[in-house]
Structure 1
Amino acid sequence: MATDVKSPVSMIDPSQLLRPEPTFNDKPINAFRDYSVDDKDPIKERVRRTYYDMHTNVTVDFVKQKREKWLKFNHFKATIKEALIKLNELVDESDPDTDLPNIVHAFQTAERIREDHPNDDWFQLTGLIHDLGKVMAFYNEPQWCVVGDTFPVGCKWADSIVYGPESFKDNPDTYNPKYNTKYGMYEPHCGLDNVLMSWGHDEYLYQFLLHNKAKIPEKGLYMIRYHSCYPWHAGGDYRHLTNEKDEQILKWVLEFNKYDLYTKSEKVPDIEALWPYYEKLIDKYIPGVCEF
């Protein structure tokens, strides 16, 4: 029998309240980010298992280990196009909204941004590459430390995290007095730049773009860095850690979020026909062979 977890985001995610559009494509808003539990639904069970594995294993020490491993950028070299093509082989195990390869979502996002922001080519490219950090999954990383929502580590788990604090019951940081209080290892309003986020594709790609000297504007970089941090930008949590700069960043992330989340559908863009346009943007902002 299907049951609902006791979480404020198990059925209706707070991000839905931030979107004014009744529909963004062919799906109503309340059909997105449904994290209700149904052990007879293979996709919902896959999503639940991915998040529970994440919430059990992602600790402060784990994040530091992954940063040490991945921020050397010594795993492979490729152009942005070559790396994007890898996403043909990736289906995000944390995503309840689509079972299509991630490259389809990349082009759906970019093309919808292009419709609304035809003159902001950097924004279009940001949409195309925002999930590129998921290539870590091809290098011996389980998806639970690559995909999905992100959140601060080193302080109390927020109620708005998917599946709620109950999903962290087997995480050792839950019981560590250095980390399980409201502020944990942080100072009030220290700013998100000084907060250690759970490891995933957001932070990796942000650091990758800095390392490879990408020319994307700062607001595009921060859209990438925090687009999966739903407990902050949708749930309203962690404001006791944010500062004035983060309030400006929040506006950018929310603008990006509607194109990231609400463009997922079964309509597949003609990717081959679109490549020439986006290759020009890649050459403009992130040219040549990059270090991953």
Structure 2
Amino acid sequence: MRVLGESKTISVIDPSELLRPEPKFAKKPIGAFRDYSIDETDPIKERVRRTYELMHTYQTVDFVKGQHEKWTKFDHLKSTMRAALEKLNELVDESDPDVDIPNIVHAFQTAERIRKDYPNDDWFHLTGLIHDAGKVLAFFDEPQWCVVGDTFVVGCEWSDHIVYRDTSFKNNVDGKNPKYNTKYGMYEPNCGLDKLLMSWGHDEYLYRVLVHNKAKLPPQAFYMIRFHSFYPWHSSGDYQHLLRDVDEETKKWVLKFNQYDLYTKSAEVPDIESLWPYYESLIEKYIPGVLEW
């Protein structure tokens, strides 16, 4: 297990930061956030399309189970939450054509917008700050397609609202497996959100890290972190045949969080150094000490 140290800059292609579906929260025209058209002459669109094609080819039941086995031993890294967040300054998001800012700036922008609207919910402020911390996966040679981007359920037929759905799954072996390619696949009807196996990425990883390290955050924070990239569910309403009524309450919290995550990027940079004492106090309150990652 290593401790965070110096590393080369890693370029992370994150289509989830580029193309977003919630127009009511957007300050830009809707076309700027949800244009998944294919244009081989446009390098941004091509990077996004290729990232999703790789994701949808290799995110299978076996792959995801293998990632759980690999990463839930929590023997890769020892780091405080602050050190992990600061490490993300070395991540360069090549897919965002609008704002060229380090991850830490986006983290503080998200947290501060939440803090403004919910001044008494300090756990919510902290959730905004740490929600992308699972991207430290990228420092262990994990490819971008299993670190970033929208998530989906593996082990059953793929939702019609997954981006590039019509073409990007053609080489995914689960599509030819009768155990996984039906409406219910390997699941029981209405088994519930917590029984679904999600494609692997920074959301699920951070959720697992927080549970392992006994974070003292409320359940709502865990929902927000674990499912904030699950767009086919929380934005398109898919997978209802696998969900329980209680999952609708979870969705409310996830959508409440996403309006701050997706549309807080701007040229205005918070005074991070002056804000650190407040957020360090929250880290100490909810996720103290050196964590196992």
TM-score of the aligned structures, taking structure 2 as reference length: 0.89
Deviations 1:2-54 (A, max 9, x none): xxxxxxxxx986433xx3x563xxx3455324333332332222211111111
Asked whether 1:54 is paired with 2:61, we answer no
1:68 is paired with a residue whose SS is helix
Corresponding position: 1:71 with 2:72: yes
* 1:32–1:262 Cα contact (<8 Å) kept: no
How many angstroms apart in 1 are the aligned matches of 2:277 and 2:33? 31
- Which amino acid counterpart does residue 176 of structure 2 have in structure 1? Y
- Cα distance in 2, alignment partners of residues 157 and 147 from structure 1: 18
1:193 is matched with which residue?
194
Match of 1:91 in 2: 92
The one-character-per-residue Cα deviations of 1:122-146 (angstroms, maximum 9, x if unpaired) are: 0010000001111001011011101
Following superposition, the deviation at residue 177 of structure 1 comes to 1.1
Question: 1:164: Cα distance to partner?
Answer: 1.6
The answer to whether the Cα contact below 8 Å between 1:32 and 1:97 also exists between their aligned partners in 2 is: no
Structure 2 CA distance for aligned equivalents of residues 251 and 239 of structure 1: 15
For 1:234 and 1:227, locate their aligned partners in 2 and report how far apart those are by CA, in whole Å: 10
Give the drift of 1:107: 1.2
The letter for the 2-side match of 1:74 is D
Q: Is the 8 A contact 2:157 2:181 kept in 1?
A: yes
- Using the alignment, how far apart are the partners of 1:22 and 1:221 within structure 2? 25
Residues 85-124 of structure 1 deviation map (CA, whole Å, 9 limit, x = unaligned): 1110113456566443222221111111111111111001
Matches within 5 A, 1:37-52: 37-52=38-53
Q: Which residue of 1 aligns with 2:207?
A: 206
Q: Tell me, yes or no, if the aligned pair for 1:110 and 1:124 is still in contact at 8 Å.
A: yes
2:131 corresponds to 1:130: yes
CA separation of 1:36 and 1:96: change in aligned 2, threshold 3 A: farther
Which range is displaced more, 66-75 or 48-57?
Answer: 48-57
- Aligned pairs for 1:225-240 (under 5 A) are 225-240=226-241
Contact 2:21–2:34 under 8 Å retained in 1: no
Q: Distance in 1 between matches of 2:155 and 2:243?
A: 15
SS in 1 for 2:187: coil
Classify 1:178/1:233 alpha carbon distance in 2 versus 1 (closer, same or farther; 3 Å): same
Q: Which amino acid aligns with 1:80?
A: M
1:247 aligns with 2:254: no
Uncovered stretches (5+) of structure 1, i.e. residues with no partner = 1-10
For the 8 Å contact 2:26–2:263, the answer to whether it is kept is: no
Aligned equivalent of 2:279: 278
For residue 259 of structure 1, what is the aligned residue in structure 2?
260
- Whether contact under 8 Å (2:21, 2:33) holds in the other structure is no
Counterpart in the other structure of 1:166: 167
Q: Which deviates the most, 186-195 or 43-52?
A: 43-52
Give the length in aligned residue pairs: 276
Task: Give secondary structure in 1 for the equivalent of 2:92.
Answer: coil
**Structure 1 residue 15 and structure 2 residue 15: aligned?**
no
**CA deviation digits over 1:227-253, x for unaligned, max 9?**
000000001111111102211101100
Conservation of the 8 A alpha-carbon contact between 1:15 and 1:235: no
What's the Cα RMSD here?
Answer: 1.9
Equivalent residue of 1:240, what SS? helix
Q: Partners in 2 of 1:273 and 1:36 — Cα distance?
A: 42
Contact 2:131 2:203 in 1 (8 A): yes
Distance 1:166 1:98, change over 3 A: farther
Answering whether residue 117 of structure 2 is matched by residue 116 of structure 1, we say: yes
Which segment is superposed worse, 138-147 or 38-47? 38-47
- Determine the structure 2 residue equivalent to 1:8: none
Counterpart-to-counterpart distance in 2, 1:123 and 1:142: 30
Report SS of the residue matched to 2:22: helix
**Deviation readout 1:160-218 (Å, 9 max, x if unpaired):** 11112421111111111111111111111100111100001111111111100111100
- Which secondary structure does the structure 2 equivalent of 1:91 belong to? strand
SS in 2 for 1:73: coil
Quick one: which amino acid aligns to residue 237 of structure 1?
D
Task: State the identity %.
Answer: 71
CA contact (8 A) 1:50 1:94 kept: no
Tell me, in whole angstroms, the C-alpha distance in 2 between the residues paired with 1:256 and 1:102.
Answer: 17
Contact between 1:113 and 1:259, CA under 8 Å: does it hold in 2?
yes
